[in-house]
Amino acid sequence: MKKTPFLEVDRVTKRFGGLLANDRIDFTVEEGEIVSIIGPNGAGKSTLFNCVTGFYRPNSGKISFMGQEMTHYRADQICKMGVARTFQIVQIISDMIALDNVVTGALLRFNKIRPAVEKAEEVLRFTGLIEKKGLLPTELTIADKKRLEVSMALATQPRLLMLDESMAGLTRVELREMIDLIKKIREIGITLVVVEHVMEAVMEISDRVIVLNSGKKIMEGTPQQVVVNREVIQAYLGEKYHVVSP
Amino acid sequence: MPDQLIQQIVNGLLIGFIYSLIAIGLTLIWGVMNIVNFAHGDFLMLGMFTSFWLYTLYGLDPLFSIPICAAFLFISGLLIYRFIVSKVMKGPVLAQLVVTFGVSIFLANLAVFLWTPDFRLIEKPLLHGTWEIGSIKLSVPKFVATIGSVVVSFFVLLFLKKTKTGKAILATEMDREAALLMGINTERINSVSFALGSALVGVAGAFLSMYYYIYPQVGGTFGLIAFCVVALGGFGSIEGAFLAGIIVGLAQTLGGFFIDPAYKFAIVFFIYLVTVWIRPQGLLGW
Amino acid sequence: MQNLSFKQISSGIIVLILLILFPFAFPKPFPQHVMILVFMFGMTGVAWNIMGGYAGMFSFGQVAFFGIGAYTSSFLLITYHINPWLGLVVGGLIAALVGAAIGYPCSNLRGHYFAIASIAFGEIVRTHFNNWKLIGAAEGMTLPMLSESFKNFMFHSSKLPYYYIILAFLILSLGVCHFVATSKMGYYFRAIKESHDVAKVLGIHVVAYRLIAIMISAFLTAMAGTFYAQYVLYLDPESVLILPISVQIVLIAMLGGASSVMGPVIGAAILMPVSEITRVLLGHKGTGVDMMIYGALITLISVYQPKGVWGLFSNIGKRAK
């Protein structure tokens, strides 16, 4: 019996006027995996994210989560179903302290404030931000802001977490912390789909890698397979890998 | 086509082109700095009064006071930007919205204080009278004002597309950060745009003064209509503002004709609402 | 967002006692009238805050709700002899429905765009009421002089009952606002204010919550409108539906401190006496000086203290204990 895939992206196409940003993108994600999506700038990775999470409407194709089709669902409905995400440019509430930001996320599953606050503190302990719970976002470093955004997403108690370039702009130490956090998240049973440019991280965390270029999926495989694939290398030709300098 | 209808179309076009000029000034300010200038209508009023007093005290026909109105409003706009508006640009959005209301209320009542709330009129401009084409009446001052507005609009477009400052303004409108990176002094562009927008509406006021009643509260409705025009044309689009002005002018007169004259402005506001619901970027906006 | 501290509750009670005693300390009609205006406008400011300061929808069209409330209860009273208290509820409900009807298509509007839409809305309502024969058009409506009683919501011999009624209304509004601010709704409103994307990604149904904020705000504003009608006993579009009143409501909230529960009350407490006194001293000659001062005041506040009076003390609540 064929097991229902956890996340199924079935020939999703998204057009902006004349530009074909996603061209029949097709892949599945199994529960418990960490899948990375890589590709040069403009390949359509963020567009794909937006289609899956309800921020864009695909022109055609199907998206299903845990067997339920959610192609044209609103973004907030998709979040309720258990798919959470972060953004390339960190989206947090700037005039609330860190704790309150996470409480807002936790409130998805509670109607009263107190249990939401308890949940939020639990999440902040998990992500290592509990000491900074009373700070405003302006007082946080970029790495902390990213962790806050992840905390907010975790507070909605997702089954699937989609991270959009969570490693961008981090120092070597911060990178290590983020990688460790991602592994911790997998350990508590959350499936991850990650868009990344930092190849070191991709190699370390991914079970599978999907490569996009110019709107199409050009390859899918283990990190080792992807890294030696000729088409993939050509797609990146002229683009430096992100090497984190010591 | 019945004559009455043609008359309304003519009237609509006449006022429409003036709306275009007013809106071009407003969309320039909006496009460059993302601020809604609620005092825009009151600058129109100042332009009208400037023209009126030059006529009453010195016998200067409105046609010839246009450069003076332009200069006066340019400087006023510059000062108001420099000392008031620029200070709220980095603050909360609410403050940006309210501050130009404050300026608007201040200016309208300053006019009341200086010149009383009485209605004034320029009785005998140089070019006066009415042409009659068949049974269509065409007021000469209205016609002159309209032509003047079109000419000025044309020159503004030329300025923006052909001169260095003009192109810098357009660049800042399109992408502020990119403009900054290109070495454009965006703060200076802000002041110039605000001043230019004010000068344009001042000139529109000079044109309007050729036939319209001049009184301190006149800015109110024109200001609100200008927003509707700018929204319809697309916030930031000069060509859009030009086109939308004509459409709004026609909508006003034809709407008043077919539905009810008392509702002519309500129809214009309704157009704004429909535009932002269906096509938020306006006709030609981005 | 926490529940009120002991200090806050006790100072609140002290202020309340002072306000209850105020009319006895100042038995003349004028000070009582000023305080009635403070409470009434304070209430509209609190109502504005729910959709504006908290949810980020800066409405410059609140007069529409004010007018709908005032006209609905008055029309029902004059034409069908319906009790004004009932009319108050009906007016509030109608205002809420109209607010939702207009708010729905405007669901994606933010900032300046929303502000202009709200102005357009207010102006359309004013134009319509100005031409609507059923409710008196430009001539307006005069309320019948009924015998003085609480049931009739009408008092002739003294302002005192009006004073206490509007004070009670204000306290009710503050209660609603406090409840909203400290509940799930409050967090969600503030997320929506920050950005629709942030809200959506946390599972918030943005459109629904925006409509809720509008409806609460509309209902409370309409209540104030009904009070106004019963207090002044005469309504016409030029007194009740004009843009400057909407601006005043925004200003009150901003001056006191938008996005704080008590802010608008402080704003009203400052602005109403100032504007009444300047109007009495300087305005009656029609010179416009009082309004020039008002305009200058608005400008100065926006430039130098946009966070309002509350903003001066605002850093209290932000840090966690």
Q: Strand A216-221 relative to strand A208-213: parallel, antiparallel, unpaired? A: antiparallel
pLDDT less than 50: residues of chain B: none
Which ipTM was obtained for this model?
A: 0.90
Interval A239-246 mean pLDDT: 47
- pLDDT interval class at C1 (50, 70, 90): very low
The residue of chain C nearest to residue B217, with distances taken between CA atoms, is: C288
Chains that touch C (3 or more CB pairs under 8 A): A, B
B90 vs C: CB within 8 A: no
Write down the pLDDT at residue A240: 52
**H or E element that contains B131:** strand B130-133
The shortest CB-CB distance from A76 to any of C182, C195, C204 is to C204
C197 vs A: CB within 8 A: yes
C287 within a domain of the structure (yes/no): no
A108 vs C: CB within 8 A: yes
The shortest CB-CB distance from C127 to any of B117, B231, B266 is to B266
Contacts of C205 in chain A (CB under 8 A): 74, 76
Report domain extents, chain A: 1-78+185-246, 83-157
Distance of alpha carbon B47 from alpha carbon C318, whole angstroms: 47
- Domain range holding C66? 28-242
The residue of chain B nearest to residue C251, with distances taken between CA atoms, is: B98
* A156/C202 touch (CB, cutoff 8 Å), yes or no: yes
Q: Who's near B227: CB < 8 A, 6+ residues apart?
A: B26, B36, B272, C116, C119, C120
From C111's Cα to the closest Cα of chain B, the distance in A is 7
From A47's Cα to the closest Cα of chain C, the distance in A is 15
Write down the pLDDT at residue C320: 36
Distance of alpha carbon A223 from alpha carbon C319, whole angstroms: 44
Contacts of A53 in chain C (CB under 8 A): 201
% pLDDT > 70, chain C? 94
Q: Among B96, C320, C292, B128, which residue's Cα sits nearest to residue A124?
A: C320
Maximum average pLDDT range among A220-229, B122-131, C81-90, C271-280: C81-90
> Which position has the token pair 């007016």?
C91
Tally C-beta pairs within 8 A across B and C: 146
C152 within a domain of the structure (yes/no): yes
The residue of chain C nearest to residue B226, with distances taken between CA atoms, is: C116
The residue of chain A nearest to residue C194, with distances taken between CA atoms, is: A93
Residues C205-254: pLDDT tens digits? 999 999 999 999 999 999 999 999 999 999 999 999 999 899 999 989 98
Selected residue of C58, C249, C302, C314 to mutate for chain B interface (largest B Cβ count, 10 A): C302
Binding-face residues of A in 150-209 toward C, CB within 8 A: 152-153, 156
* A133/C320 touch (CB, cutoff 8 Å), yes or no: yes
Contacts of B227 in chain C (CB under 8 A): 116, 119-120
Write down the pLDDT at residue A1: 47
* C303/B99 touch (CB, cutoff 8 Å), yes or no: yes
Please tell me whether residue A19 adopts helix, strand or coil conformation: strand
Q: How many residues does chain C have?
A: 321
C264 within a domain of the structure (yes/no): no
From C52's Cα to the closest Cα of chain B, the distance in A is 9
C-beta contacts of A69-72 below 8 A and 24+ residues apart? none
Is B145 in contact with B208 (CB distance < 8 Å)? yes
The residue of chain C nearest to residue A75, with distances taken between CA atoms, is: C200
A134 vs C: CB within 8 A: yes
Residues A172-215: pLDDT tens digits? 999 999 999 999 999 999 999 999 888 889 999 999 999 999 88
- pLDDT interval class at A2 (50, 70, 90): low
Write down the pLDDT at residue C2: 53
Within a 10 A sphere around the Cβ of B165, how many other Cβ atoms?
A: 15
Q: Give the residue ranges of DSSP H helices in C279-320.
A: 289-304, 308-312, 315-318
Distance of alpha carbon B190 from alpha carbon B168, whole angstroms: 11
- pLDDT interval class at A245 (50, 70, 90): very low
- pLDDT interval class at A246 (50, 70, 90): very low
Report domain extents, chain B: 19-216
Write down the pLDDT at residue C304: 87
**The pair of three-digit structure tokens given for residue A152, joined into one six-digit string:** 């907010």
**The pair of three-digit structure tokens given for residue A83, joined into one six-digit string:** 């798919």
Q: Among A26, A40, A7, which residue's Cα sits nearest to residue A239?
A: A40
Exposure letters A168-206 (e unless 16+ CB within 10 A, then b):
bebeeebbebbbebbeebbeeebbbbbbbbbbbbbeebb
Contacts of A55 in chain C (CB under 8 A): 197, 200
Residues C11-53: pLDDT tens digits? 888 888 988 888 888 888 888 999 999 999 999 999 999 999 9
Residues A44-53: pLDDT tens digits? 899 999 999 9
> Dihedral of CA B27/B28/B31/B35: which sign?
negative
The residue of chain B nearest to residue C115, with distances taken between CA atoms, is: B97
Q: What are phi and psi of B211, to 5 degrees?
A: -145, -10
The shortest CB-CB distance from B95 to any of C106, C124, C306 is to C306
The shortest CB-CB distance from C184 to any of A75, A93, A111 is to A111
Is A10 in contact with A63 (CB distance < 8 Å)? yes
Distance of alpha carbon C35 from alpha carbon C33, whole angstroms: 5
- pLDDT interval class at C133 (50, 70, 90): confident
Write down the pLDDT at residue B172: 85
Contacts of C200 in chain A (CB under 8 A): 54-55, 74-76, 79
DSSP letters spanning C109-162: --HHHHHHHHHHHHHHHHHHHHH-GGGTGGG-EE---PPSBTTTTB-SS-SHHH
A94 vs C: CB within 8 A: yes
> Which position has the token pair 């209808």?
B5
Selected residue of B105, B115, B252 to mutate for chain C interface (largest C Cβ count, 10 A): B105
C40 within a domain of the structure (yes/no): yes
Contacts of C303 in chain B (CB under 8 A): 84, 87-88, 95, 99
The count of structural domains within chain C is 1
Residues A129-184: pLDDT tens digits? 999 999 999 999 999 999 999 999 999 999 999 999 988 889 999 999 999 999 99
% pLDDT > 90, chain C? 54
- pLDDT interval class at C8 (50, 70, 90): confident
Distance of alpha carbon C54 from alpha carbon C194, whole angstroms: 10
Residues C272-304: pLDDT tens digits? 888 888 778 776 666 788 888 888 988 988 888
Write down the pLDDT at residue C285: 65
From B135's Cα to the closest Cα of chain C, the distance in A is 31
* C303/B101 touch (CB, cutoff 8 Å), yes or no: no
Write down the pLDDT at residue A237: 63
Write down the pLDDT at residue B53: 93
DSSP letters spanning C62-81: HHHHHHHHHHHHHHHHHHH-
Binding-face residues of C in 251-290 toward A, CB within 8 A: 259
Q: Max Cα separation, chain C? A: 59
The arrangement of secondary structure in A1-78+185-246, i.e. its CATH architecture, is 3-Layer(aba) Sandwich (3.40)
**Model's pTM, two decimal places?**
0.90
Write down the pLDDT at residue C288: 80
From B231's Cα to the closest Cα of chain C, the distance in A is 9
Distance of alpha carbon B96 from alpha carbon B105, whole angstroms: 15
Please say if the pLDDT value at position C72 is more than 90. Answer: yes
The residue of chain B nearest to residue C58, with distances taken between CA atoms, is: B94
